[in-house]
């Protein structure tokens, strides 16, 4: 093979290997990312909307992450969401999707305030009901989020952190009901949910606190 073609082949192989590493890193991120604190959530979204030196404002990605953090839907499903997917069901709104990751059908209630938030975003940007609300890829979301987190000095945060934040806040706000969070996330067992959010059930925490006896 001529030297020029050999160099081209090496470059292709190097690029392919680099992409594989990035892809594997992305797959690992979901398992290693931590849940956000509420303060981190607010600061990330605000910074993303305002932009900063070297990074322009990005309302689209910020809005997608807000929905992930308030609906508990994976970002892969958020970027495929259409406004017409949300339907009125009596006096409530219902969203029905087929999860990209699991292939399972998922139906749940969309709070009125979230419905109005999505509706206003679509009206502002003239997005038709049958169009994707966020015509972007998950990689674009991760890239924008990584830039903001680097700027803010946050580590261990990926888009999945917003879903974990949702689960953690639901858990704490509802009497530490691990079964409730399990149903919301559609996990097969409560132990999976417990590991997912990284919080021990409240009764274990209380038992440890009661046992503590300092001299």
Q: Mean pLDDT lowest for which of 12-21, 32-41, 117-126, 142-151?
A: 12-21
C-alpha–C-alpha distance, residues 134 and 79, integer Å: 5
For the chain, how many residues are written?
215
Between β-strands 92-98 and 105-110, what pairing exists: parallel, antiparallel or unpaired?
antiparallel
Residue 69 scores a pLDDT above 50: yes
Q: Give the phi and the psi of residue 194 in degrees, each rounded to 5.
A: -60, -45
Average pLDDT over residues 184-211: 76
The Cα-based distances of 32 to 110, 123, 196, 198 in angstroms read 28, 37, 10, 11
78 vs 11: which has the higher pLDDT: 78
**pLDDT one-digit tens code per residue, 156-180:** 999 999 999 999 999 989 988 889 9
Who's near 97: CB < 8 A, 6+ residues apart? 73, 77, 80, 81, 85, 105, 106
3 vs 151: which has the higher pLDDT: 151
Domains of the chain: 32-211 (1.10.443.10)
Query: What pLDDT, on a 0 to 100 scale, did the predictor assign at position 2?
Result: 56
Q: What is the pLDDT of the chain when averaged over all its residues?
A: 84
Query: What pLDDT, on a 0 to 100 scale, did the predictor assign at position 164?
Result: 92
Query: What pLDDT, on a 0 to 100 scale, did the predictor assign at position 67?
Result: 96
22 vs 152: which has the higher pLDDT: 152
Average pLDDT over residues 60-85: 96
Between β-strands 92-98 and 86-89, what pairing exists: parallel, antiparallel or unpaired?
antiparallel
Q: Furthest-apart CA pair in the chain: how many Å? A: 80
Give DSSP secondary structure letters for 56-91. ---HHHHHHHHHHHHH---HHHHTT-BGGGEEEETT
Query: What pLDDT, on a 0 to 100 scale, did the predictor assign at position 187?
Result: 83
């Amino acid at each position: 093979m001529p030297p020029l073609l050999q160099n081209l082949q090496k470059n292709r192989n190097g690029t392919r290997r680099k992409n594989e590493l990035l892809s594997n890193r992305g797959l690992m991120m979901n398992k290693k990312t931590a849940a956000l604190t509420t303060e981190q959530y607010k600061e990330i979204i605000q910074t993303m909307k305002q932009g900063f030196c070297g990074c322009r404002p990005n309302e689209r990605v910020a809005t997608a992450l807000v929905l992930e953090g308030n609906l508990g839907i994976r970002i892969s499903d958020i970027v495929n969401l259409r406004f017409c997917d949300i339907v009125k069901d009596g006096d409530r709104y219902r969203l029905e999707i087929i999860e990209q990751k699991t292939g399972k059908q998922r139906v749940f209630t969309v709070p009125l305030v979230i419905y109005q938030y999505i509706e206003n975003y679509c009206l502002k940007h003239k997005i038709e009901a049958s169009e994707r609300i966020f015509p972007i890829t998950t990689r674009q979301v991760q890239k924008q989020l990584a830039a903001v987190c680097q700027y803010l000095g946050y580590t261990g945060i990926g888009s999945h952190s917003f879903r974990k934040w949702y689960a953690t806040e639901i858990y704490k706000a509802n009497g530490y009901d691990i079964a409730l969070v399990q149903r919301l996330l559609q996990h097969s067992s409560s132990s999976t949910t417990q590991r997912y959010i990284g919080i021990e059930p409240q009764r274990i925490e209380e038992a440890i606190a009661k046992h503590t006896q300092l001299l």
